[in-house]
Amino acid sequence: MTNKHQVLVIGGGSFGTVLADIVATNGHDSCLWMRDKQQADRIRQSRANERYLPGYTLHPTLQISTDLSSAIAAADTILFSVPSKVFRSVLDQVKGFIRPEQYLITTTKGIEPEHFLLMSQVLEVYFPNNSIGVISGPNLAKEIAAKHLAGTVIASDNADLRQRLQDLLQCAFFRVYASNDRYGVELGGALKNIYAIAAGLSAAMDMGENTRSMLMTRSLAEMSRLAVQMGANPLTFLGLSGVGDLIVTCNSPLSRNYRIGYALGQGKSLADAIEELGEVAEGVNTLALVKQQADKLELSMPLVDALYALVYQQADASTMVTSLMGRDQNSDVEFVLQRS
């Protein structure tokens, strides 16, 4: 290893913990910052994040910190791995400590409701002089911790940032691919949560594998249609951050969004589904935002329309299938044929 870097991961959840540990294992200085001092002390002593990754032993050189200013001062690369709902509040805490030469990367999958901003765009608002990147893909943290083979995408306009993240994170079981389509990569991670609801719904209604495959491919068409309107490359959605993330989310019964859809498919109300889950799944909020944006842009998104009617307007679950079969009968692969 020729260049040793100093990496800070902000956020002590499962994915942030795994990334920080891989960096340390690869021989770089790695620090995991978390807000909760008691939790940080427990992890230092036990060398395990039992709350999010039980049974997974952390690398002995991985530092655990609650001192934000010192942790930022020591870093040349900072990864933000916190929920979208607290993203701005975390940036408010760090904005006085960030230097222009530091690389800033987000792993957070979500859309900010006020202005339909992706998390990297929020980073740009706060830090317009920093190079910014996005990490996204089919990345179930517990599987990565178990060293099952996995891949992710690092997207940035800055080629040096992309190369640095590949050097920091690539290892025998975790492959890091590069992209310069930051919006496309990030949108894939945010939008797929909507369609996981549709997948859970179809499973509960016992629609069959033909239906599931149709739902997933039409979901991909809708995702890329919106992404192009926002300046993304539709080909990005053929990769890990698009179809890859869509597959893992739509086929995982453990996904919160899938479980919400499954409950709705059983005839439960949204309130009952949320109560059963214990929290609001990200896709429920994203659905409302995307519906509003699609209407504003006059985009054809029949699955979004049908899911919105089901989730927010108490429509019957069968309307999703009716909407899909009754509309959107133009081309198979989006952008290959011109719409008539």
What's the rounded Cα separation, in Å, for the pair 31 and 223?
A: 35
User: Cβ of 161: how many Cβ atoms within 10 Å?
Assistant: 21
Q: Is 37 a catalytic residue?
A: no
Provide the whole-model pTM: 0.90
User: Cβ of 29: how many Cβ atoms within 10 Å?
Assistant: 17
Beta strand spans in the chain (E): 6-10, 29-33, 63-65, 77-80, 103-106, 111-112, 117-118, 132-136, 150-156, 174-179
Catalytic site residue from 192, 268, 291, 296: 192
Res 322: pLDDT: 65
For the chain, domains (ranges, CATH) are: 6-180 (3.40.50.720), 188-326 (1.10.1040.10)
Cβ pair 182, 236 in contact under 8 A: no
Res 320: pLDDT: 64
**Mean pLDDT per segment of 10 residues, for the chain of length 340 residues?**
86 95 97 94 94 94 96 98 93 96 96 91 97 96 94 98 98 97 94 92 88 88 89 92 92 86 89 83 90 93 90 78 59 57
